[in-house]
Structures are given as structure tokens and as C-alpha cells.
Amino acid sequence: MKNILKTDGSSTTLIIRLMVGVVFLSEGIQKFLFGETLGAGRFAEIGLPNPEFLGPFVGSFEITCGTLVLLGLLTRLAAISLLCIMLVAMATTKADTFANAGFWAMMHGSRTDWAMLLGSLFLLIRGGGRWSVDRKIGG
């Protein structure tokens, strides 16, 4: 458990935590507020199985992991979940764009996805940083 909580003393990691945490927390909440366009309805539109379950399930994970990242609590575990969410999201939503509109349209449409993917990867590698709960309880 100590390795999961281990983090560096960087104070600037807070900036990445704020970016990743706020976006995921917001997106998770929106999956419940606007389920027809951003939650189950969106998942049905792109052909994912069992969208009525998957929409709230993914939304709950985004809310939980976004909150954990904001607190810097179990940052690495939260980052693993968020990496999985981003990889699936990119594979399911950007493949059509690539096939129909080409590489540059896909890159343009996935700029936030890349930021969240790489931000989550950063947090997996570095941990929560100086101002995190991980650092307080992990020593």
C-alpha cells in the first residue's frame, strides 16, 4: 500500500491534478444530468453494449476518480481507472472520425482526450505531489 501512496514532493503536480480532476468530475456529473446526450444516450449512439448500465457506471467512476485525483487520495489507482476510460473513449469515438474525416480531424476532435490521457499517465507515474492526501498519509 505504501508504494501506491508514494509520491514526489513537487508542488506543480497540483496543476495536473486540478486539470484532470475537474474535467473528469464535471464529465461524470454531466453523464447523469444530460444522460440522453452525454450518458446512456451517447453510449447507445456509438454502439456500446448495455448503455443504460454503462452510462451511469462510467459516470460514477469519473465522479469518484475525479474526486480522488482532486484530493490527491489514491491518486495512482484513480489514474489507472481514468487511463482505461480514456483509452476506451478514444477507441470508440475517434475511430469513426479517423475513418470518415481523416487523421487531422481525428486529432482535432481528440485534443481533450489526449490531455486527459497524458495527464492521467503523469499522475500514475508521479503520484499526487506535495499537496496531496497521499503524501500526508504515505509519509
- Domain locations in the chain? 2-138
Mean pLDDT of 12-36: 97
pLDDT at 8 over 90: no
Instruction: List, in order, residues 6 or more apart from 38 with CB less than 8 Å away.
Output: 27, 30, 31
Mean pLDDT of 116-121: 98
Residue 43's pLDDT band, with cuts at 50, 70 and 90, is very high
pLDDT at 96 over 90: no
- Nearest of 42, 5, 4, 3 to residue 132 by alpha carbon: 5
pLDDT at 1 over 70: no
pTM of the model: 0.92
